[in-house]
Amino acid sequence: MAFAPLDPILHNQLRLAVMSLLVPLESADFNFLLEKTGATRGNLSVQISKLKEAGYIEVTKSFKENYPNTACRASALGIAAFEAYVAAIKGYLGG
Amino acid sequence: MDNNLTPEQSLKVIESMIGQAKRSFSRFSFYFLLWGVLLSSAMLATYLLRDLSPALAHGAPWGIAGVLGGIISSVHGARQGRSMVVNNPMDGIIGWMWGSFVITLILIIACSVIAEHDPGPVITILTGIPTFMTGQIMRFRPLILGGLIFWLAGAVMHFTSDAYLHTLLYCGAMLLGYIIPGILLKREENGLRTA
């Protein structure tokens, strides 16, 4: 039985954590992702950039109460990729 | 963070993060505490002023509580919206549910005033719906129990016209349905550090 290949963009702990947080939400700020993932600012920025380059998330930069703010939301492409990844993982686990 | 994930580890990450995202609601405790205190105070004032003119006893405390609560809630909501760090679609559903409840409330109060009926028992029963539903959506048991208490108190209020008993039941329901769940929710929100 052939297993579906796992999406290399999502098969990374931090990127997978970010996508898992964003998929059920409409949007989330950088600080929320930072707090929930427990990652460092630098690493999270890098992984968010990779997800953005892949078209899996949309990133909006703005000012909130006079401070720069980065908001992220999962794109339709990202949600589809996440669902395919979850299906593939379930296949590996025999689900 | 480790990049060599096994399928089990991937699933664990997904479950843990989705669980955290789903529990990330806006801070609603403020509204339960505010309205719990305001409406209990209005009911107590209505009871204490019951020997005065009906307009003063029934109209003024509820009018003051409604306007004051509306203004404070709007200002707080606007501030909260500006500082929100996460946008959970369930927040919108909870907001619309309470909004439709307020419209229902206004209509019932207006109709009851015209028909010269006491809207208290019906309003108490109706308060159970958004309280219970908010508790179910947030998976927060004190609010679920609060909803049940409003239903029970409202039903009992239908079978008595005694002002003291009405006050006791309404204020008791507010305490157990809004104020205590509000305090418990505030503690949980501070622990989870949500929006």
Report, in this order, helix, strand and coil percent for chain B, each rounded to 5: 80, 0, 20
Residues of B within 8 A of A12 (CB-CB) are 1, 3, 5
| Domain residue ranges of chain A, discontinuous segments joined by + | 13-90
Answer whether A64 sits within 8 Å of B82, measured CB to CB.
yes
What are the pLDDT digits (tens) for B115-156? 888 899 999 999 999 999 999 999 999 999 999 999 999 999
Is the pLDDT reported for residue B23 higher than 90? no
User: Is the pLDDT at B49 greater than 90, yes or no?
Assistant: no
Residue contact A25–B21, C-beta within 8 A: yes
Rounded to whole angstroms, the Cα distance separating B124 from B156 reads: 10
Q: B13 contacts in A (CB within 8 Å)? A: 13, 16-17, 20
Token representation of residue A60: 């909006």
The CATH number of the structural domain formed by A13-90 is 1.10.10.10
Q: Name which of A23-37, A78-92, B30-44, B56-70 the model is least confident about.
A: B56-70
With bands split at pLDDT 50, 70 and 90, how would you rate the model's confidence at B192? low
CA geometry: angle B55, B60, B61, nearest 5 deg: 130
Cβ <8 Å between A36 and B193: no
Residue range A2-29, pLDDT digits in tens = 677 889 999 999 999 999 999 999 999 9
Residue of A nearest to B13 (CA): A17
Greater confidence (B92 vs B195) lies with B92
Q: Band of the pLDDT at B195, cuts 50, 70, 90?
A: very low
Two structure tokens written together for B143 = 């609010």
The reported pTM is: 0.83
Give me the mean pLDDT over the A26-45 stretch: 94
Q: Which residue has the higher pLDDT, B8 or B35?
A: B35
Name the pLDDT band for A81 (thresholds 50, 70, 90). very high
**Centroid of chain to Cα B48:** 25
B-chain CB neighbours of A31 within 8 Å are 85
Is 70 exceeded by the pLDDT of residue B64?
yes
Q: Is the pLDDT of residue A34 over 90?
A: yes
